[in-house]
Each structure stands twice: as C-alpha cells, then as structure tokens.
Amino acid sequence: MKLVVALGGNALGRRDAPKGRDVEFWRESVRAAAPIVARLAASRDVVVTHGNGPQVGLLALQAAGHGDRVPLDVLGAESEGMLGYLIERELRTALGDRDVAALLTQVLVRPDDPAFAAPTKPIGPVVSAEEAERLAAARGWTYGPTAAGLRRLVPSPMPCAVLERSTIRLLMRLGVVVVCAGGGGIPVAEAPDGTLHGVEAVVDKDASSALVATDVGAERLLLLTNVPAVYADWPTAREPIESASPRALAALGFEEGSMAPKVEAACRFVKQTGGTAHIGALEDAVRMLSGKAGTRIEPGNGPVVSAGG
C-alpha cells in the first residue's frame, strides 16, 4: 500500500510558542512522531509531508527583529529544510536500516490566484492586539482572528503542480521513505519566458499533500493534527464525525485556516483517486487506518456518520 502521511504544523509546534528559539520543542515533537510514522512505514510505501505554520511565522518575526526583509518563499525553504532534517534524522533512528530522504520541494502556483488578494492562512504565534497593530504598521503584515487568537494571515494559493514529483516517485521505487512538500512546499510561479520565481505566500500543506498523494498513486491519505476527528459542531466539539463522503461533508461548514483546508484536501483526493482519506490525531494514526479512530472520508454518496451513532 502507498500511503501519504501529513504531519500538521500545529502537531509539531505550539501556536503560542515563544517568539525566541523553540527548536528543542520541535525536536521533541518530531521524536514523539517518528515511532508512529515508523509503524505506518513498516509494511507500506510511505511519503511524509509536514506543516510549517508556527515555524515559518517565527522565522519571519526573527528576521523582522533584525531589520531583515526575507521573502516568504525563502523562509518556507528554510523551515522545510529545518523540519525535514529533524524528521529525517528521527525516522532513520526509528526505522533502522530503511533509507529516508528529505527533499526540498517546489510547488507551482498561479500568479493570478485570487488568494493573493485575500490572505487567510495563519502563520506564527498568537499576538496581542497592540503587537498586531504595531507589526501591521511596521511591516505591512495582515493580522486576523483565529480560533486561538490574533495571528498573521498570508495568501495561500492553490498548488497546481509539485515540480519534484518524478523525483519523489523514483525514490519511492527504490524503497526510500520520502519527506517532502514541507509547509506545503516552496511556492513558485512561472514567468512568460518559462523561468521560475518565488512568491510571497504559504501553500496549504494539506492541499499539497493531497496533490502529492494523487501524483504517487497513494491509496490512503492521512492528515494528522492535534484534534481527534472532524467535528460537525465545532467549537463545542461534541459530535465527532466517524465517516462521510465528500458530498455529505460539502453540506457542512468548517473553519477557514483550520479544519476547512483539511476537509477540502481530503475530499479532493478521494474524488480524484477513489482512495480513502483520514483526519485525526497523530497518536491515533495506526488505529485510523483500521477505521477505529479519526474521521474517514470515502468515495460514494454516503451520509455523515457520527461516532456512537
């Protein structure tokens, strides 16, 4: 079985992490995740993707604190390399003699994507209203409310193509566990003359994970986060959804910048491939594959089935 495992950025780092260095926390989070991914990879061909929302936002703040203006595509590459290194190192320990390779991944986006006019992707830590106002005035950044509080919002264009998809498929054929599309990949656009240039955006990790899963012919897509399931009544969170079809989920509303991108990416993968997608907590990943945890999105027109009835 081919499986894409997407580790959510908030599962690998706190939204409210201090603005200083928090690498040790990320290292500990990756170390906790590695044995779970190793169990998934024991008898499967696995690709690991990961988020970078907390990390890329902190890197941007650190650069701003030194008076530097570092574009988001470069910060995305920096965070992808940093987290990819930590994941690769811990997976090598957990997997023994299995080869692991972290791959810097460029993702093609359209320069005219409407997302550039409406920033919705939260990155970085929660800040006070006063600090948001100061940073918005000093840096031209956009801040907005999220479930956790005020966070920086950036454009999140739809990924059109993973430029390293052939390399990912080659590595998989060689039995390598591939770590790629970190933070959704490095966003690039194509100029009329065919040259590539970075863009000021952060691509949604779940959308890119679904694209990677489609490209490699995966049968399953696991979108792992810090909540146990998709909830029909969030934020009261009393009704976890056990299973549903894309059509049934389309009738429900989910929070932008949080669960909505996961649901949309999962549904897109299921509709395009006929595979099965799962959304749930990192620690439940193995149980999710057997249908004993999380939310399962399956092909067809089945209704929303809540856990326990």
First to last CA, the chain: 30
Measured CA distances, 8 to 33, 41, 225 (Å): 11, 18, 5
CA distance linking residue 239 with residue 305, whole number of Å? 10
Is residue 57 within 8 Å of residue 152, measured between CB atoms? yes
CA distance linking residue 149 with residue 132, whole number of Å? 11
Which region, left, alpha or beta, applies to residue 120 given φ > 0 means left and ψ of -120 to 50 means alpha?
alpha
Amino acid occupying residue 27: R
CA distance linking residue 71 with residue 231, whole number of Å? 35
Measured CA distances, 53 to 45, 149, 266, 267, 289 (Å): 26, 14, 19, 22, 26
Q: Which residues are catalytic?
A: 9-10, 121, 205, 262
Residues 6+ apart with CB under 8 A from 217: 2, 273
